[in-house]
Chain A
Amino acid sequence: DQQVKQNSPSLSVQEGRISILNCDYTNSMFDYFLWYKKYPAEGPTFLISISSIKDKNEDGRFTVFLNKSAKHLSLHIVPSQPGDSAVYFCAASAGMDSNYQLIWGAGTKLIIKP
């Protein structure tokens, strides 16, 4: 049973436009969500996170939105740049002391077109 789902395996966006990556979850106990970016042959790099007490967190070009009632979160990147081309993973955990229980989506490959 996939508790964290990223239903779009890939997404293609024009440079300069907004990229929106989506993530759905099923476990209502999840209270912390993270987005990671991964280039080929490298480990994931932390991008941004959000606690369930918030519905929005912004860091530069990256904004994460959380809709708890819909069990949905999204990552917005604006404006999109060529270096943003990578695989983006959504991850979730339940409880402050459950780092190891990060549950990951399968990832969405973002392609930024020049």
Chain B
Amino acid sequence: DTGVSQDPRHKITKRGQNVTFRCDPISEHNRLYWYRQTLGQGPEFLTYFQNEAQLEKSRLLSDRFSAERPKGSFSTLEIQRTEQGDSAMYLCASSPTRDSGNTIYFGEGSWLTVV
């Protein structure tokens, strides 16, 4: 399978615990994105990497959230001191650098439930 893969697919954690999600993008894609989606809403942008550089962060990304892409390949999204409001699907996506077209390809998402 050469699509975007995310791990774990589901995570249940107690409030206050830290969680980490991993994303492996499509291998030739140098752009990687994290989004968050809750029921009845479209995806909300969180952050974006071009290779290993984190180029943009949303205001939604509080200081409890941190994302890394140390070697420009896989990425991790860590949420510290989780809160119930963090419960959502966390989506990773990737895209190549192209002269035109902004199509991004999503993974299957990581469901987080904070209890």
Contacts and interface: CB of A to CB of B under 8 A. Distances in A.
B31 interface: yes
A89 B42 contact: yes
Interface residues of B, number: 29
Contact of A34 (B41, B99, B103): B103
A42 B103 contact: no
Contacts, number: 72
A99 B95 contact: yes
B91 A44 contact: yes
Interface residues of A, number: 26
A93 B104 CA distance: 11
B107 A43 contact: yes
A96 interface: yes
Contacts of A105: 42
B91 to A, nearest CB: 5
B99 A100 contact: no
Nearest to A31: B102
Interface stretch (A45-53, A68-76, A77-85): A45-53
Interface of A: 4, 9, 32, 34, 36, 41-46, 49, 51, 89, 91, 93, 96, 98-102, 104-107
B94 to A, nearest CB: 10
B104 A96 contact: no
B99 A96 contact: yes
B21 interface: no
